[in-house]
């Protein structure tokens, strides 16, 4: 097991990879891992929610296109000579897909077809999609299994489900090797805490490092399957290496449920300060519990997580703390992701 770079000792069966969304949270960790396994890496990102600072230490080792997946020509140019595409670029904020359904469909739907079309034309061997557990929607059955009929409850979830189908169909019609990974709640360094709808761990980390009071919506007994970003990256590498996946979709999580109350206790204790959370009304439409059955990924991809929740939280806390310390404001409110980003700028 390696705590720094997932898959470092993995022998990958591809030489050059395109990462769409490579300047984002998960994408930048993937780029780092691909370089570590000796792969050439191309990044295509329009920086709408990503940040070049995420790639700063890697900048000289990658081919970077500040382009848009909505433009077929842009995707074709970036794909030259690649044998694998990791398709992560998307409008990821669920609320944004509700507020601007047409614009976000242009990215999440048409952008995905562009990636597949370019891959077909350029004779790329394999496409791996970042999908989401959001495709299961409000189905109360647990754990979520891939055999369940998806019930998307937002445009975002519809886009992800449709993208999964496009991948499968491109495999059947054109012989592209494809697979989709349904990530559960991913967390880790570089996750942007700027919006109220940012991942709960990024928000709680932000509060913990600045000694602020977090808000828990509802009674905090709701639970999620939190998976550390480097385990997600390992799953992406394993998928790109696997054979005969035939457009399948896989759950990628830990298989463990963690209550939000417990999550805050853990983060507060890592920070060494017991701060009582403030409780507010449950969010409209909040799913009570979510956890994935990851047996299929275990058996077909040989996937297993390397990081316990506690290990992942410690590494993540360390990163957020460094952002604060760098500007010498250990007790100040960090507040927004933009401030985190500004601080990251200062640091890098």
Distance CA 21, CA 66 (A): 10
DSSP 55: G
Separation CA 345–CA 348 (nearest Å): 5
How far is it, in rounded angstroms, from Cα 84 to Cα 173? 18
For ligand NAD, the binding residue among 2, 9, 13, 47 (CB under 6 A) is 47
Of 197, 190, 206, 232, which is closest to residue 92 (Cα–Cα)? 197
288 Cβ contact partners less than 8 Å away, ≥ 6 residues apart: 140, 222, 223
By beta-carbon proximity to ligand NAD, the closer residue of 38 and 249 is 249
Residues 302-331 touching ligand UD1, rule: CB under 6 A, are none
Report, in Å, the least distance between residue 25 CB and ligand UD1. Answer: 10
Q: Which does 222 bind (CB under 5 to 8 A by kind): ligand NAD, ligand UD1, none?
A: ligand UD1
Report, in Å, the least distance between residue 96 CB and ligand UD1. 10
**Measured torsion, CA atoms of residues 292, 298, 301, 303, in degrees rounded to the nearest 10:** 80
Could you say whether residue 216 binds ligand UD1 (CB under 6 A)?
yes
Residue of the chain from 46, 96, 104, 222 that contacts ligand UD1 (CB under 6 A): 222
Separation of alpha carbons 88 and 22, rounded Å: 7
Among ligand NAD, ligand UD1, none, what binds residue 286 when CB lies within 5 to 8 Å by partner kind?
Answer: ligand UD1
Q: Is 224 in the site for ligand UD1 (CB under 6 A)?
A: yes
Kindly name the residue from 65, 136, 156, 320 that is annotated as catalytic.
156
Would you call 156 a catalytic residue per the annotation? yes
Q: Select from 173, 175, 83, 177 the least CA-distant residue to 129.
A: 177
- Catalytic residues, by residue number, are 156
Binding site residues, ligand NAD, CB under 6 A: 20-21, 23-27, 44-50, 68-70, 88-92, 107, 111, 130, 132, 183, 185-186, 199
């Amino acid at each position: 097991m390696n705590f720094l770079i997932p898959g470092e000792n993995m022998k990958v069966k591809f030489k050059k990879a395109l990462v769409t969304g490579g300047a984002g949270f998960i994408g930048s960790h993937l780029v780092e891992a691909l370089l570590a396994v000796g792969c050439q890496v191309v990044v295509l990102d329009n920086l709408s929610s990503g940040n070049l600072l995420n790639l700063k230490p890697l900048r000289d080792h990658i081919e970077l296109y500040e382009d848009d997946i909505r433009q077929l020509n842009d995707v074709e140019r970036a794909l030259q000579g690649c044998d694998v595409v990791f398709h992560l670029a998307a409008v990821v904020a669920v609320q944004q897909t509700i507020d601007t359904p047409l614009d976000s469909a242009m990215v999440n739907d048409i952008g995905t077809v562009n990636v597949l079309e370019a891959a077909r034309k350029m004779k790329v061997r394999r496409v791996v999609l970042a999908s989401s557990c959001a495709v299961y929607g409000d189905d109360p059955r647990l754990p979520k299994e891939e055999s369940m009929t998806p019930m998307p409850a937002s445009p975002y979830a519809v886009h992800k489900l449709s993208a999964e189908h496009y991948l499968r169909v491109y495999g059947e019609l054109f012989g592209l090797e494809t697979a989709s990974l349904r990530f559960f709640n991913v967390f880790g360094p570089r996750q942007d805490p700027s919006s109220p709808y940012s991942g709960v761990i990024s928000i709680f980390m932000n509060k913990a490092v600045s000694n602020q009071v977090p808000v828990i919506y509802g009674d905090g007994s709701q639970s999620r399957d939190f998976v550390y970003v480097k385990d997600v990256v390992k799953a992406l590498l394993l998928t790109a290496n696997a054979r005969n996946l035939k457009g399948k979709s896989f759950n990628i999580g830990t298989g463990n449920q963690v209550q939000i109350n417990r999550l805050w206790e853990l983060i507060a204790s890592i920070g060494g300060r017991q701060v009582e959370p403030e409780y507010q009304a449950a969010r409209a439409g909040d799913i009570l519990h979510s956890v994935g059955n990851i047996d299929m990924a275990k058996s077909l991809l040989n996937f297993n997580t390397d990081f316990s929740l506690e290990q992942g939280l410690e590494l993540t806390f360390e990163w957020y703390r460094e952002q604060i310390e760098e500007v010498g404001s250990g007790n100040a409110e960090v507040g927004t992701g933009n401030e985190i980003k500004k601080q990251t700028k200062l640091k890098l």
